Amino acid sequence: MSTKYMIVSGFLGSGKTTTMIALARAVNARMQGEGEPSKVAIIANDLGAKNLVDADYTRTADVPIDEIAGDCICYVTEDLVYHINRLADAGADLVVSDIPGCGVGALNHVYVVLKEQYPDRFDLLPLVCLVDPIRLRMILPQKEDINLPEEMRFLLNAQLAEADLIVLNKCDLIDDEEREADLAFIRAAYPDIPVMWISARTGEGINELADYVLAHEAAAKPRDLGTDTEEFDAAEAQMCWYNRRFFAEERTGADIDFNVVVEDFMEAIRDGLIEARRNVPHLKLFAAGVGEDFVKCSIVGVDYDLEFERKLQQDYSGIAIVVNARATCESDTFGDIVEDAMDAIKAKHNLKCRVIFTECFGFADEGRRNGGRASRYSA
């Protein structure tokens, strides 16, 4: 029996995780019978090895989830197939995964490969690329400066160019006129690719998206997207990845409102980035309390408001906090910014913090790709 598989791509913070959860719920609403397991499952994919906000957050939804961490699904086909099979065995008819938000290549490295190597095993649903209307301003004719490096334009364009369906997300943030202008621009730029619009947050357009993807199949034909070029390397080289898990406790054991700690921590990282004249296309944080209590918040750039998808309902004396950043910043600078932000919350809220896990790497950093064997000396 074949399993339906689809990828949701899109730039950092464009709403992939939010959309996958909303889509899964919409498809389940029509396919899942009373008492049956979920018909949809999600694979959260990330370049970081551990402690991923998206995976923790998705686990709070009513949809089964697996994670593929430490590499892009483009380069771990067998692992991907293993995870899809596992989720299908547990009852999923449709498995949806994302790829890291700076990633391009899901078409050539996943769809085309699956079609060739596992011809009857998967029904490949359209490769959906999400685009956030604010980021789109970067490639609109006026080429608005949204404080991201010039090189990011290449990634945004390449991601759109490989899609079977382009979906303008976050339409709750723009008026009808801007939405129609954005859709017209995308249609003119990519005349062969169908375009839809949604708001993953309000749910508008999600049922139409579910109808579309269930009724269409992926083209899965290779396209040249310019990923072997210097432009692609230059874009990747701008990025750093940061994941940390730490345990923060109030020194006297008093219960405190950790929502305020989280807000101060995120704002301190934002201030550090502004001072360093750098940016963070997505900074996200997750911390779980008891039972279903959790806090999740994000900013999708230093100029954006802090968004809480959920706040803690209860005070705690200690809590484990997971923070992930995908920044346009040198990795060592970003690491220093987080240390300063931790010092600030420790002083302000009388906390002590134990760091449990940190990874912090730039794409082009020495030592990243060769098993840690990089070394240097001056003779």
Ligand X SMILES: Nc1nc2c(ncn2[C@@H]2O[C@H](COP(=O)(O)OP(=O)(O)OP(=O)(O)O)[C@@H](O)[C@H]2O)c(=O)[nH]1
Contact residues toward ligand X (CB under 6 A) are 10, 12-18, 54, 101, 169-170, 172-173, 199-201, 282, 298, 300, 307, 309, 326
Least distance (Å) between residue 164 CB and Mg ion = 20
Whole-number minimum distance, CB 58 to Mg ion, in Å? 9
User: Minimum distance from CB of 200 to ligand X (Å)?
Assistant: 4
Whole-angstrom distance, CA of residue 188 vs CA of residue 114: 30
Q: What are phi and psi of 93, to 5 degrees?
A: -95, -25
Asked if residue 4 binds Mg ion (CB under 5 A), the reply is no
Residue closer to ligand X (CB basis): 15 or 362: 15
Q: Which two tokens stand for residue 187?
A: 């249609």
Considering the complex, state which of residue 112 and residue 206 has its C-beta at the smaller distance from ligand X: 206
Of the candidates 49, 129, 29, the residue with the CA atom closest to the CA atom of residue 358: 49
| Chosen from Mg ion, ligand X, none, partner binding at 64 (C-beta under 5 to 8 Å by type) | none
**SS3 string of 228-260?**
CCHHHHHHHCCCEEEEEEEEEEECCCCCECHHH
- Residues in 240-259 that interact with Mg ion by CB under 5 A: none
Q: Shortest Cβ distance from residue 101 to Mg ion (Å)?
A: 7
Q: Considering only CA atoms, which of 239, 287, 238 is closest in space to residue 261?
A: 287
Q: How far is 212 from 125, CA to CA, in rounded Å?
A: 9
**Residue 17 in contact with Mg ion, rule: CB under 5 A:** yes
Report, in Å, the least distance between residue 206 CB and ligand X. Answer: 9
Closer to ligand X by CB, 10 or 272: give it. 10
Q: Which of Mg ion, ligand X, none binds 172 (CB below 5-8 Å, type-dependent)?
A: ligand X
Confirm if 263 and 349 have CB atoms less than 8 A apart: no
Among 4, 16, 270, 278, contact with Mg ion (rule: CB under 5 A): 16
Sign for the CA dihedral angle at 255, 257, 262, 268 comes to: negative
- In the complex, the smallest distance separating the C-beta of residue 156 from ligand X, rounded to whole angstroms, is 12
Residue 200 interaction partner, one of ligand X, Mg ion, none, beta carbon < 5-8 Å per kind: ligand X
- Cα–Cα dist 218/129, whole Å: 12
Of the pair 284, 342, the CB lying nearest Mg ion is at 284
Assign 204 to helix, strand or coil: coil
d(CA 102, CA 335): 20
Binding mask 36-65 toward Mg ion (x if CB under 5 A, else -) reads ------------------x-----------
Minimum CB distance to ligand X, residue 239 (Å): 11
φ/ψ of residue 15, rounded to 5: 115, 25
Please identify, using beta-carbon distances, which residue of 54 and 250 lies nearer to Mg ion. 54
State how far the Cα of 257 lies from the Cα of 278, in Å rounded to an integer. Answer: 30
